[in-house]
Amino acid sequence: MSHAPAAVLIAAPASGQGKTTVAAALARLHARAGARVRAFKCGPDFLDPQWLALASGAPVDSLDLWINGEADCAARLAAAAREADLLIVEGVMGLFDGQPSAADLARRFGIPVLAVIDASAMAGTFGAVAHGLRTWRPGLPWAGVLANRVGSARHAAMLQEALDPEAGWLGHLARDEGLSLPERHLGLQQAGELPDALARLDRAADALAATPLGQRALGNWPRWQAPGADAVASVPPLLAGRRIAVARDAAFAFIYPANVALLRAMGAELVFFSPLAGHALPACDALWLPGGYPELHAEALAARVDLREQIVAHVLAGRPLWAECGGMMALAETLVDKQGQGHALWGLLPGTAVLGRRLAALGPHRLALGGEELRGHSFHWSRFETALAPAFMTESARGAAAGAGEPVYVSGSLRASWFHPWFPSSPALAARLFCPEPLA
């Protein structure tokens, strides 16, 4: 097959329409048939990419025109296009939501948009929604429309009849709870937590195979022209000879593959360990506690008194520790879970992490230090009640009107924040998180 792949950006009018299910089903359908599939997620996300990676069999990077920057997005798309038969980009929220939006990404790189619309409570209005998505912004490349959660064959016919001829009917999926991916706060459940995750994707792929979209052979898709990309600059070996321990399990799972790749490109040796599995802290020069769901595993983490003592010794020896969102929660003196029960956690940071009942923060942020700018995002339901004063604050990409930034706490060689950085946005500043020198 040609190195000019097929490509599609799967979007929707809003969150909760089923775009992750459709994106993963499409990836699984073609990957299990032997096609080389590469998937991406528009915007910062740790959960949807887990499902897309399982479906496609390849790592999934995020694409965000502000966080990554346009050049980084172009380079990742171009690299994937050289090795893939099909590129799938899953959108974020609704097609035009956010600044930049999934539509902005589609227009910038000419990726045709497939609109997934939950049609469970509509008939003729389906055509109006599809028309609006297709025509709201001029120059939007278009692939077609897929109706989701359809009640019957007659319902599907009504939906198809409501469409403009140019809308491109690509079929429908029936209303079936078995095709939905399970959710919790912050988003979908993690794919690795479900023993039947692949079976769920196969069921969705089988359903999609009965649609015009699923029955279209890749050879009949329009070829997509990958963007021209500047040669990727070599990364200086800022972490050469440094061994970084990374917590990775169901409690610490929010890790961008691109962040791991960058640390290795800068010369670091990474060693992964699981606090939930009882692993000791590996011998290391620096420690990374990523985000995840410590609140769901608070009792098990509280019982790791041995690991707590090892982390305390690590920090007292002046070795760096970067704790990110959920990783910071695990370092609090107390973690209060959804049931209001307090757990004595590892206590390296004074204060209490409390899981809230609603969203506490969401949006793109930047951390500017020493002439460098590390970009990323914030997304959490919890709050951290502490008397510890922040050493630094991130800034919202949306300006002061969007509210205060996120605090960055420093205690000796420990650095912690709600902020999720995208390391490739500033390799130099990312490297400093894992080096003993002060950040300032």
284 in catalytic set: no
State the Cα–Cα distance between residues 184 and 358, nearest whole angstrom: 12
Task: Count CB neighbours of 378 within 10 A.
Answer: 20
DSSP state letter for 192: G
Task: Classify 414 as helix, strand or coil.
Answer: strand
**Contact by Cβ (8 Å): 304, 289:** no
C-alpha–C-alpha distance, residues 24 and 2, integer Å? 23
Q: Which amino acid is at 251?
A: A
Q: Pick the catalytic residue from 42, 73, 284, 325.
A: 325
CB 167 within 8 A of CB 133: no
Phi, psi of 124 (to 5 degrees): -60, -30
Burial of 298 (0-12, 13-18, 19+ CB in 10 A): buried
Round the CA-based radius of gyration of the chain to a whole number and report it: 22
Q: How far apart are alpha carbons 408 and 405 in whole angstroms?
A: 9
Q: Rounded distance, CA 293 to CA 127, Å? A: 40
Give the pair of three-digit tokens for residue 341.
């029960």
Taking a C-beta distance cutoff of 8 angstroms, is the pair 365, 400 a contact? no
Catalogue the active-site residues: 325
